[in-house]
Amino acid sequence: MSFLSSFPPPGSAEGLRQQQPETEAVLNGKGLGTGTLYIAESRLSWLDGSGLGFSLEYPTISLHAVSRDLNAYPREHLYVMVNAKFGESKESVTEEEEDSDDDAEPIAEFRFVPSDKSALEAMFTAMCECQALHPDPEDEDSDDYDGEEYDVEAHEQGQGDIPTFYTYEEGLSHLTAEGQATLERLEGMLSQSVSSQYNMAGVRTEDSIRDYEDGMEVDTTPTVAGQFEDADVDH
């Protein structure tokens, strides 16, 4: 594929955490061959036997997980979702597809399948450690207030602009259709979260309903821990 290139593999100088030979790389369902996966602090790289491969920058990786669901893929693997496009030349994209892609966020799905599946836990741990060294800049910025400082004294003297405040109903009218849908979804999740406090193992019992209606305290400590098909997930 056109995005494959030749480059030296990352070494100790770049903080190499895990080197996994005999690992098949699959991009969006298409096999790229078998090579070596390098999980370094600087980047995630894969190189085949001829020295061709690719690198992924950690800020572009939105999710990685160990997938053990054989219905989704026939072999256990390290799943990596990337906010970027790979392997698609400009000429192969039609004008209609290009216009539709302008509104959609680019997504690429990589699967790294080691010949030794027992190495998956170490691969996942190395990925977590390296990803933690590259926090999302948008998450950091969200903690900072970007607006102008509100000068109480100036406003008391009639200077400056008075900030606009809305009631709940007025605020709803200023939301876009997408914002309203998101708000409704969040309210539904909150409602389900509250009601689930009176459910045991997903089944609403008569005792839990009676306790809830009588205002009695209910012990909601879970007694059974579930297991997911995908044992480890990090995003």
pLDDT category, 32, cuts 50, 70, 90? Answer: very high
The sign one gets for the Cα dihedral 166, 169, 173, 177 is positive
Between CA 231 and CA 131 the distance in angstroms is 18
In the DSSP assignment, the letter for residue 211 is: H
pLDDT category, 223, cuts 50, 70, 90? Answer: very low
Q: Is pLDDT above 70 for 201?
A: no
**Percent of the chain at pLDDT above 90?**
46
Mean pLDDT score of the chain: 74
Residue 157 is predicted with a pLDDT of 58
Q: Of 201, 180, 192, 44, which Cα lies nearest the Cα of 124?
A: 44
Residue 139 is predicted with a pLDDT of 61
Q: Is pLDDT above 60 for 3?
A: yes
The structural domains of the chain, with segments of one domain joined by +, span 19-88+105-132
Between CA 116 and CA 27 the distance in angstroms is 20
pTM over 0.85: no
Q: Is pLDDT above 80 for 182?
A: no
Q: Is pLDDT above 80 for 215?
A: no
Which fold, 19-88+105-132? PH-domain like (2.30.29)
| Dihedral angle computed from the Cα positions of residues 225, 111, 31 and 113, in that order, rounded to the nearest 10 degrees | -70
Angle at the Cα of 77 from the Cα atoms of 72 and 81, rounded to 5 degrees: 75
- For the residues 129-141, what does the mean pLDDT come to? 80
Match 């836990």 to its residue by tokens: 121
Between CA 195 and CA 66 the distance in angstroms is 32
